[in-house]
A and B are shown apart, each in its own frame.
Chain A
């Protein structure tokens, strides 16, 4: 029945099968489950028997008092993270690149990579401790300069700054890898030629190193466009509290509270779906731009 060629390929299909089934259940299943955004879903009736209510959930979503705040906070925090997350690693990799002692450079790299590998539970626990207004080391240090204790995690004015700075703390070291890889790919002959032409180190950085990094910078900048609605659920969930909702509550945390704490499944799914649609559009645009600007393809 099957040709010899098809039979030879049968094991290949079998190898895909287990992954296919799992992805079908746990990735495509939830995608199908998005219909509850258009239903008056009840857990007893289930997805199949819950009545449809058109766009009611979306209308209700727009009337939520917190929706405006949450969208604004998400955009503000995400954009600050994107800018800081691009700028800091670029500067640090340029400085790392100037280090002459390779062993020393490796030690520095190992040290700054560490926070990336720790979870936001651990980093959150650490931040809560060091930022505590009464005992935390940061406020102890501020106190030494005669500054009144600041309740960093309990003050809506400070909260976004804490979120952005701590995110940079976690990720800047690890982000330097990509840039350092780009720098390692620069042809050493360029530097030799520049030295012969009398360029000092600053000139070399300006005219060889930086241009060498530009493609990667452009690529990462365009790809980060897909993240403007991702303000970082894991981080904020572990740092925020009702007193900072005004500046710290984001779309993802709102979805969590509406959906899993208040069990308004349909409404939460509608909010999540809106976010996903905008995100997919942004990601598509960013991939298209990355392809046009930096000739980047996923495959």
Chain B
């Protein structure tokens, strides 16, 4: 493998360079906004910031982290994430177990599988979904953010495929020793499926952290918004019809830009910390779990 031709070495260098450039280009927008958020408002307003903060200051972060609205939204997001992930995982673990059985060992398995899989293909759409949640009186409650998406059929399918990869003999031995299904699930299946479960936990957490639309339409007032929905209103929602090209510079209060940057970066930070682990996990967990014989 080492006797590369000259052309081969040139290609390798170009290829590595190109991919590095591409990867940096991917991160460039984020780094730029981070640099803006760490710059003084005048430098940001003058458009002097590219990759490195100009007149470094933490003022924007100080301001955001002392803003009661931001902190309240953050708290709601954390609450939602913990409650939502716990419910997600409990349901996924218990649903995947019976569905992983052969139809002979669990009568009705096929019917159940179809019952759940159909919901991947068809849905009622936005309005009936909203009306049901309204009818149940969940609007404005944290349960509205947690219950409608509590059953993730995709995750259950991934986990059930993982369960199926476990040696059947373990279960049979446990049966002989008098263990019931619940015992087998919690004492054998769950501990052995930890790589897959850990992956699903992280995915569920990322999903809850990133959700914004349900908060936006199911909460009654901005004071009940989780972080991403709150950011939707302060960072995204602006009416471009009111802004002409020449106004844009004067209208946008200069410090507003650094504040938005700080809020964007703070909301992205947990994901940036967590996702490299996800990457390691999903190669082990998901890919292995999704292999079918």
| Chain A residues proximal to chain B, CB less than 8 Å | 6, 8-9, 11-13, 15-16, 18-20, 22-23, 25-34, 36, 43, 46-47, 92, 95-96, 98-101, 104, 107-115, 117-122, 124-130, 132-137, 140, 149, 151, 153-154, 169, 173, 177, 181, 200-201, 233-234, 237-238, 241-244, 252, 255-256, 259-260, 265, 268-269, 272-273, 275-276, 280, 283-284, 298-299
How many angstroms from the CA of A111 to the CA of B91 in the assembled complex?
33
B194 at the binding interface (Cβ < 8 Å): no
The reply to whether A133 and B245 form a contact with Cβ atoms under 8 Å apart is yes
Inside 8 A of B107's CB, which chain A residues have their CB?
6, 9
B contact residues, total (Cβ < 8 Å): 105
Residue from the set A29, A32, A130, A298 with the largest chain B CB neighbour count within 10 Å: A29
For B7-22 the 0/1 string (1 means CB < 8 A from A) is: 0100110011011101
- The SS class assigned to the B binding surface is helix
**B47/A140 in contact, CB under 8 A:** yes
Question: How many contacting A-B pairs (Cβ < 8 A)?
Answer: 273
Contact between chains at B206 and A18 (CB < 8 Å): no
B81 to A: closest C-beta gap in Å: 13
In the complex, which residues of chain B have a beta carbon less than 8 angstroms from the beta carbon of A18? 91, 94
Q: Is B80 an interface residue (CB 8 A)?
A: no
B236 touches A15 (CB 8 A): no
B255 within 8 A of A: no
Q: How far is the CA of A46 from the CA of B126 in the complex (A)?
A: 17
A30 and B30 contacting across the interface, CB-CB below 8 Å: no
Interface of B toward A, CB cutoff 8 Å: 5, 8, 11-12, 15-16, 18-20, 22-24, 26-27, 29-30, 32-33, 36, 44-45, 47, 49-50, 91, 94-95, 97-99, 101, 105-108, 112-113, 115-117, 119, 121-133, 135-136, 147-151, 153, 156-157, 180-182, 185, 206, 209-213, 217, 228, 231-232, 235-236, 238-241, 243, 245, 248-249, 252, 257, 260-261, 263-264, 267-268, 271-272, 275-276, 278-279, 282, 287, 292
Q: How far is the CB of B43 from chain A (nearest CB, A)?
A: 11
A121 and B236 in contact, given A23-B116, A127-B29, A151-B245 (Cβ under 8 angstroms): yes
A98-B12, A121-B231, A134-B249 as given contacts; A113 in contact with B121, CB under 8 Å? no
Residue pair A13, B108 in contact (C-beta under 8 Å): yes
Task: Known contacts A99-B16, A126-B264; decide if A149 and B245 are in contact (CB<8 Å).
Answer: yes
Residues of B with C-beta under 8 A to A273: 125
Q: Which residues of A contact B27 (CB under 8 A)?
A: 111, 114
Pairs of residues from A and B, 10 with the lowest C-beta to C-beta distance, nearest first: A30-B124, A33-B128, A272-B125, A241-B240, A119-B210, A111-B23, A30-B128, A12-B98, A134-B249, A27-B119
